[in-house]
């Protein structure tokens, strides 16, 4: 049998396989992937807490919620605007607290906000809670702006961190007292207060003004901020036959007061301060509230910036009640001062707050050296067909019928005619019903 020599064939086969493997390997060789760029880190952010305090429970919770809504809207709009402070994205956090309109609770929640390291506070609503709480904020050097507290003592304590964007009772008291004197022309006035810092303080200012006008003021009667049964006091007053009654207190107690007065046959004019200058009075007193007079320490809600009013309605499906435009401005003032200082540190932005000149929803805002708003307006209202209706604005000691005031605010209006000086509101009072009718039309035209 012939022996076959396979070596040359095997060698050729191995050589062919090696060549094929080499060619295959070359064909599948991958190019190196490009190096991916590292994603840029997100921009740094800074969390800034802004506190708000008001009565969220109890008889005036509707006013507390209104105030909170105003401040909350300002914070949410600031976040939507993507503000940068110190090169960082500012994330504002709203921190709300309920002081129940109780001074003791007010100091407790004030300390709670200090411990939470809020950068600023909007509040409180009541003077009775604002004044004791102010000492706590002052010790922590945290700026606080009230959109509702009107007792003069709040800014008379010398605290450099305390501000307010509404007028004071020593402006509001003379305003409502002078208007009442001209409108009702009383010879004798009865004054009742709710024994709070706000109610008593405002009543004191009304009494001073009436006494200076040589109007007799009966000995003071007192209730509390929770009084709803006024019959004993009213029966006593009925026997003294006053020509008018002023009540220093809130609507939760003021509504039952005027209702029970009418039930007892007391038909005189009733006047109130801002705490009872709400549509809630008609809900609590019904037809008995018709024709009452009251004051607010600022411009009426309807005169606030249209953009704010529209945004508030869209956000909360309701119109502002009383001081929401002012708490909205208060929150925005804190934020604006932080922007100017480029820092949320109270020690750095507080100096900017003291010298700020800001166009807010309630007009131009600047503070005097006490922290009070310069040139604060006062508005006089009457209850008409179940609605609080503005009849006049008092500013710088001058009284202007509301229709004339709103017309003067219109960009198309000519320069405003000189307003008559207060206290001499009788002429304005005579015009009041017509002014009240025309005010909504003028406001609509302005908008």
Sheet strand arrangement including 162-164: 84-85, 88-98, 45-54, 120-122, 144-146, 162-164
Determine contact, residues 391/382, Cβ cutoff 8 Å.
yes
Q: Among all chains, which residue has been given the structure tokens 């401005």?
A: 329
Q: For residue 23, tell me if it sits in a domain.
A: no
Query: Can you tell me the distance from the alpha carbon of 272 to that of 293, in angstroms, rounded to the nearest whole number?
Result: 6
Q: Cβ neighbours of residue 150 under 8 Å, at least 6 residues apart?
A: 127, 164, 166, 167, 168, 169, 172, 198, 201, 202, 273, 274, 297
Domain boundary among 314, 339, 365: 365
Q: How far is it, in rounded angstroms, from Cα 379 to Cα 400? A: 10
Give me the CATH number covering residue 203.
3.40.50.2300
Q: Is residue 22, in this structure, part of any structural domain at all?
A: no
- The pLDDT value given to residue 37: 62
**20 in a domain, yes or no?**
no
Whether 256 and 328 map to the same domain: the answer is no
What distance in Å separates the CA atoms of residue 169 and residue 177, rounded to the nearest whole number? 11
Digitized pLDDT (tens) for each residue of the chain, 447 residues in all: 444 454 444 444 444 444 444 444 444 455 556 656 666 666 689 999 999 999 999 999 999 999 999 999 999 999 999 999 999 999 999 999 999 999 999 999 999 999 999 999 999 999 999 999 999 999 999 999 999 999 999 999 999 999 999 999 999 999 999 999 998 999 999 999 999 999 999 999 999 999 999 999 999 999 999 999 999 999 999 999 999 999 999 999 999 999 999 999 999 999 999 999 999 999 999 999 999 999 999 888 988 999 999 999 999 999 999 999 999 999 999 999 999 999 999 999 999 999 999 999 999 999 999 999 999 999 999 999 999 999 999 988 888 998 888 777 655 444 444 444 434 343 333 333 333 334 333 333 333
Helix 169-184 / helix 426-446 crossing angle, nearest 10 deg: 110
Between CA 277 and CA 391 the distance in angstroms is: 13
Instruction: Please check whether residues 407 and 286 belong to one and the same domain.
Output: yes
Looking at the fold, whether 213 and 316 belong to one and the same domain comes out as no
Q: Is there a single domain that holds both residue 195 and residue 274? A: yes
What DSSP line would sit under 365-428, residue for residue?
E-B-TTSPBTT--EEEEEEETTEEEEEEEEETTEEEEHHHHHHHHSTTSPPPPPPPBSS-THHH
Q: Among 323, 339, 365, where does a domain finish?
A: 365
Number of domains in the chain: 2
**Residues in CB range of 17: below 8 A, 6 or more apart:** none
Contact partners, residue 437, CB within 8 Å, separation at least 6: none
Q: Is 196 in the same domain as 264?
A: yes
**Is residue 401 domain-shared with residue 414, that is, in the same domain?**
yes
Report the sign of the C-alpha dihedral through residues 242, 265, 172, 158, in that order.
Answer: positive
253 with 185, same domain: the answer is: yes
C-alpha atoms less than 13 angstroms from C-alpha of 170 in its C-beta half-sphere: 7
Judge if 279 and 390 occupy the same domain: yes
Question: Are 248 and 188 members of one domain?
Answer: yes
pTM of the model: 0.78
Does residue 282 share a domain with residue 404? Answer: yes
Same domain, residue pair 258 and 163: no
Q: Do residue 344 and residue 360 come from a single domain?
A: yes
Say what the pLDDT of residue 303 is: 87
Domain that holds residue 353: 45-167+304-365
CA-based angle 78:81:87, to the nearest 5?
A: 95
């Amino acid at each position: 049998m012939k022996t076959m020599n396979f070596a040359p064939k095997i060698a050729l086969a191995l050589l062919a396989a090696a060549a094929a493997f080499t060619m295959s390997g070359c064909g599948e060789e991958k190019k190196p992937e490009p190096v991916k760029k590292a994603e840029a880190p997100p921009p740094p952010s800074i969390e800034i807490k802004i506190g708000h305090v008001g009565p969220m429970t109890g008889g005036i919770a509707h006013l507390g919620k209104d105030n909170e809504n105003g401040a909350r809207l300002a914070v949410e709009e600031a976040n939507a605007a993507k503000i940068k402070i110190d090169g960082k994205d500012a994330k504002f956090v709203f921190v709300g607290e309920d002081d129940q309109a109780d001074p003791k609770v007010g100091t407790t929640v004030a300390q709670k906000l200090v411990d939470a390291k809020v950068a600023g506070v909007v509040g409180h609503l009541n003077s009775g809670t604002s004044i004791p709480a102010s000492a706590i904020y002052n010790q922590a050097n945290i700026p606080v702006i009230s959109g509702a507290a009107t007792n003069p003592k709040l800014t008379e304590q010398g605290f450099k961190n305390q501000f307010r964007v509404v007028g004071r009772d020593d402006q509001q008291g003379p305003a409502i007292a002078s208007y009442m004197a001209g409108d009702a022309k009383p010879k004798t006035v009865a004054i009742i207060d709710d024994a709070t810092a706000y109610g008593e303080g405002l009543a004191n200012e009304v009494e001073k003004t009436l006494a200076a006008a040589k109007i007799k003021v009966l000995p003071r009667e007192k209730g509390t901020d929770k009084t709803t049964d006024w019959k004993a006091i009213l029966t006593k007053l009925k026997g003294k036959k006053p020509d008018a009654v002023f009540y220093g207190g809130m609507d939760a107690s003021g509504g039952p007061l005027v209702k029970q007065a009418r039930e007892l046959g007391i038909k005189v004019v009733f006047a109130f301060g801002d705490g009872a200058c709400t549509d809630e009075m008609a809900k609590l007193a019904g037809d008995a509230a018709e024709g009452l007079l009251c004051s607010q320490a600022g411009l009426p809600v309807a005169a606030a910036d249209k953009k704010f009013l529209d945004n508030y309605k869209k956000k909360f499906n309701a119109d502002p009640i009383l001081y929401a435009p002012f708490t909205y401005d208060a929150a925005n003032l804190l934020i604006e001062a932080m922007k100017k200082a480029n820092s949320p540190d109270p020690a750095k932005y507080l100096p900017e707050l003291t010298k700020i000149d800001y166009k807010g929803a309630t007009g131009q805002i600047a503070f005097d050296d006490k922290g009070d708003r310069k040139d604060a307006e006062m508005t006089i209202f009457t209850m008409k067909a179940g609605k609080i209706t503005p009849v006049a604005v008092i500013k710088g000691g001058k009284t202007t019928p509301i229709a004339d005031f709103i017309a003067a605010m219109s960009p198309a209006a000519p320069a405003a005619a000189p307003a008559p000086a207060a206290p001499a509101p009788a002429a304005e009072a005579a015009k009041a019903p017509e002014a009240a009718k025309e005010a909504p039309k003028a406001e609509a035209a302005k908008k």
